[in-house]
């Protein structure tokens, strides 16, 4: 018997029981569409996390000074002023595989321009900071070397600050005040939007770090910084660079072999990996839940196929009497269940995609439908059709033709 005729025959008997076929497929339809939706939502979430992570900059290492202890009371991270500008210079000079080093100090300051004022975090840093954190300058320019060395009063501002102080006017070359100190704006940053924690990345001002220390922040420990950011040339050398930084800083801070670090190096890539893997776990979990409904759909198919075999016992007997082999009978029922599950799978994919788009439209959740989830759904429904169709088909093929013919 050729496959085309079997296919045709199975299609005919499915068409005879239209309603039943549709209801049987419903289990698979629901299963497949929920797999598609769940995977789309899960994938959308991890893509969003990845995007948020990228906005922080990639291949980053962050060096903080350790916590200070004052009269037995431990202060927070970065409170012990052990990191210096000289450390940053040493790292830049001695480390291999480093693309840029940027010492930073941060403080909240009041900004004024004309009759407008605004409070925001002011970061004292250098020119490397822009590309270390993946910023782009929309108008104007980055700091010049001389400006950094001479502690010039120049600033690069974020989009939010520009809007609050200047409205629609281009702020480049305007002069505003940080505290009481007048600063000339040399650059406007391209907006980044919110970061992963919901903070507005564009609400920021960068000034040369020497300027910040000498003229704005009024540090108790001149020459120290809150944090040093290091951008490695690639993902692969990140751990090696971290190792080098540890060696350099321990040497420079004269920490013996058994001494505790007075600084802490944090690897942003590791954090990203952790968050990504938890997102991945989430989508696997969602997928697993959805697979359960696929499983239930498969059992539904098996149930109906068993009913169908019993109901069509006589038909099976007739087919056997006029020359059907056990293989022919098995194939017919197997193909029927395969068709049911594939039909369910296809409808499920359509409903799943529509459902995911609907969720996006209604809630604004980011979704991402992967080719993988569609392929896995088709594969899974075919698998279910064959697995759960096999037992009924096998039972049908084992019927005794005489008894089957006598069955009423």
Interacting residue ranges for other proteins, rule: CB under 8 A: 1-2, 4-5, 9, 12, 16, 314-315, 317-328, 401-402, 405
The β-bridge partners of 101 are 230
> 220 vs 408, which CB is nearer to other proteins?
408
Minimal distance in Å, beta carbon 308 to other proteins?
A: 13
For residues 32 and 344, give the distance between their C-alpha atoms in angstroms, rounded to a whole number. Answer: 8
Minimal distance in Å, beta carbon 394 to other proteins?
A: 14
> 124 vs 317, which CB is nearer to other proteins?
317
Minimal distance in Å, beta carbon 328 to other proteins?
A: 6
Minimal distance in Å, beta carbon 323 to other proteins?
A: 2
Minimal distance in Å, beta carbon 389 to other proteins?
A: 20
Asked whether 31 and 291 are in contact (CB, 8 A), the reply is: yes
For residues 397 and 391, give the distance between their C-alpha atoms in angstroms, rounded to a whole number. Answer: 10
Tell me if residue 370 falls in helix, strand or coil: coil
What count of other Cβ atoms lies within 10 Å of the Cβ of residue 69?
Answer: 11
> 94 vs 328, which CB is nearer to other proteins?
328
Among 318, 343, 395, 359, which Cα is nearest to 7's?
A: 343
> 111 vs 393, which CB is nearer to other proteins?
393
Minimal distance in Å, beta carbon 402 to other proteins?
A: 5
For residues 237 and 260, give the distance between their C-alpha atoms in angstroms, rounded to a whole number. Answer: 25
> 3 vs 260, which CB is nearer to other proteins?
3
**Which region, left, alpha or beta, applies to residue 182 given φ > 0 means left and ψ of -120 to 50 means alpha?**
beta
CA distances from 306 to 45, 177, 325, 392, 395 (A): 41, 82, 19, 5, 8
Residue corresponding to tokens 């102080």: 165
> 1 vs 358, which CB is nearer to other proteins?
1
């Amino acid at each position: 018997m050729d496959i085309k005729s079997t296919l045709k025959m199975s299609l005919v008997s499915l068409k005879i029981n239209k309603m039943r076929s549709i209801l049987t497929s419903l289990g698979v339809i629901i299963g497949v569409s929920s797999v598609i939706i769940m995977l789309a939502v899960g994938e959308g979430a991890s893509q969003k996390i990845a995007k948020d992570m990228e906005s922080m900059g990639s291949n980053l290492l962050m060096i903080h000074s350790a916590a200070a202890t004052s009269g037995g009371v431990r202060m927070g991270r970065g409170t012990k002023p052990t990191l210096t500008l000289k450390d940053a210079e040493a790292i830049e000079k001695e480390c291999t595989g480093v693309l840029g080093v940027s010492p930073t100090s941060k403080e909240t300051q009041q900004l004024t321009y004309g009759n407008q004022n605004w409070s925001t975090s002011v970061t004292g840093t250098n020119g490397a900071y822009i590309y270390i954190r993946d910023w782009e300058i929309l108008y104007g320019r980055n700091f010049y070397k001389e400006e950094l060395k001479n502690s010039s009063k120049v600033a690069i501002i974020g989009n939010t600050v520009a809007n609050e102080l200047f409205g629609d006017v281009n702020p480049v070359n305007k002069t505003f005040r940080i505290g009481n100190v007048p600063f000339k704006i040399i650059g406007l940053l391209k907006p980044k939007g919110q970061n992963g924690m919901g903070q507005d990345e564009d609400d920021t001002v960068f000034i040369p770090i020497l300027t910040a220390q000498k003229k704005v922040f009024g540090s108790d420990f001149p020459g120290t910084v809150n944090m040093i950011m290091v951008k490695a040339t690639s993902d692969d050398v990140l751990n090696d660079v971290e190792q080098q930084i540890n060696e350099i800083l321990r040497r420079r801070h004269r920490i013996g072999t058994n001494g505790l670090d007075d600084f802490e190096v944090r690897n942003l890539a590791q954090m990203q990996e952790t968050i990504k893997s938890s997102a991945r776990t989430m989508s696997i979990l969602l997928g697993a839940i959805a697979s359960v409904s696929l499983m239930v759909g498969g059992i539904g198919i098996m149930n109906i196929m068993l009913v169908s075999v019993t109901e069509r016992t006589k038909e099976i007997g007739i087919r056997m009497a006029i020359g059907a082999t056990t293989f022919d009978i098995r194939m017919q029922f197997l193909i029927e269940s395969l068709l049911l599950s594939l039909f369910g799978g296809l409808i499920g994919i359509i409903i799943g995609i529509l459902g995911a788009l609907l969720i996006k439209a209604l809630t604004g959740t980011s979704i991402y439908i992967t080719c993988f989830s569609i392929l896995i759904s088709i594969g899974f429904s075919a698998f279910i059709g064959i697995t759960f169709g096999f037992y009924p088909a096998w039972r049908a093929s084992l019927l005794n033709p005489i008894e089957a013919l006598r069955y009423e």
